[in-house]
Homo-oligomer: A and B are copies of this chain.
């Protein structure tokens, strides 16, 4: 079986870590023997924008629809292209147009990667983030100017979008430690979040054997620092999920290694796999970028394609490499991108 993958390395270190992750994925496929990857690379992003005035061609979305999945590096070059242009013209556009309505981000204490927490207690949780609406609805406006100006931002939660995220979280909990925490703030946001709570309670009734609890986002953020081991699956709105997943990266010891999957769970269009880290223009092109986030992202693609055992082997190889002390500078090591990639390839054997 051949999977046709659209590759968008994007900007900065994306151009370096994406090829490294492709090597690891090819190796995994070869060891497995059941399938192979066919990669097609698209050089879209900020350089493309500086040449053409667009982040991707007008028919970019149509082109991408012809592939099985999308493997993305990093987007952004803030000194030359404003963030709202680069993000809304590529990353968020693909999330929206491909109806990638679920964003999944794991956080796990890895052997060999020191957490900033004193007692991180082997945490291992996944945040399921609603990825299509809510606070990111792109609805709002401004009125008046100067001293009288008012800005309004509307968060829009639909039953369908909310329920979809919750069912996905409960289904995931079935395959894990049987527990879902809902991130709410119904004591402060008195329209959207009581609705969110009602849908959570209602969907939860279909999953009687799964533990279920709601925490306010403020308390939940604090709990991720105080007792992250208490969480299994967390379901959160677009904005709350964004905040909780960066916190997840922080307690792992680096936001540079966290992966993300933007899923079209109906499999009507391709899903997109992208690391949480940015394009890090300051270290781009030096061969010292950390490939772990991109490689872990590749593992999530393997999971979604239906090869979770193979995905687990990649995570094991990453941990073994970290435990050996083969790390890039951002993790306190001295290894290059090439050395880390080679060590992982070796561990995979």
Chain B binder among A5-13, A35-43, A188-196, A287-295:
A188-196
Contact with B along A94-114 (1 / 0, CB 8 A): 000000000000000000001
Q: Beyond A159-B147, A221-B250, A226-B250, is A136–B243 a contact (Cβ under 8 Å)?
A: no
Chain B binder among A59-67, A82-90, A165-173:
A82-90
Instruction: Say which residue of B116, B226, B246 sits within 8 Å of A218 (CB atoms).
Output: B246
Q: Is A51 an interface residue (CB 8 A)?
A: no
Distance to closest chain B CB from A12 (angstroms)? 16
Q: Is A22 an interface residue (CB 8 A)?
A: no
Which residues of chain B are near A219, meaning CB under 8 Å? 246, 255
Which residues of chain B are near A249, meaning CB under 8 Å? 222
Q: Is A230 an interface residue (CB 8 A)?
A: no
Which residues of chain B are near A84, meaning CB under 8 Å? 186-187, 190, 194
Interface size class of chain A, counting residues whose CB lies under 8 Å from the partner chain: 35 or more
- Tell whether, in the assembled complex, residue A189 and residue B239 are in contact, meaning their CB atoms are under 8 Å apart: yes
- Tell whether, in the assembled complex, residue A116 and residue B250 are in contact, meaning their CB atoms are under 8 Å apart: no
Distance to closest chain B CB from A56 (angstroms)? 18
Contact with B along A143-176 (1 / 0, CB 8 A): 0001111111111111110000000000000000
List 23 A–B pairs whose Cβ atoms lie within 8 Å, in order of A's numbering: A83-B186, A84-B190, A116-B117, A116-B119, A116-B225, A117-B117, A117-B225, A118-B118, A135-B188, A135-B189, A147-B159, A149-B158, A151-B156, A152-B154, A153-B154, A154-B155, A188-B239, A217-B242, A218-B246, A219-B255, A221-B250, A243-B243, A247-B247
Q: Is A327 an interface residue (CB 8 A)?
A: no
- Tell whether, in the assembled complex, residue B191 and residue A152 are in contact, meaning their CB atoms are under 8 Å apart: yes
Separation of A81 and B146 alpha carbons in the complex (Å): 43
Which residues of chain B are near A255, meaning CB under 8 Å? 219, 222
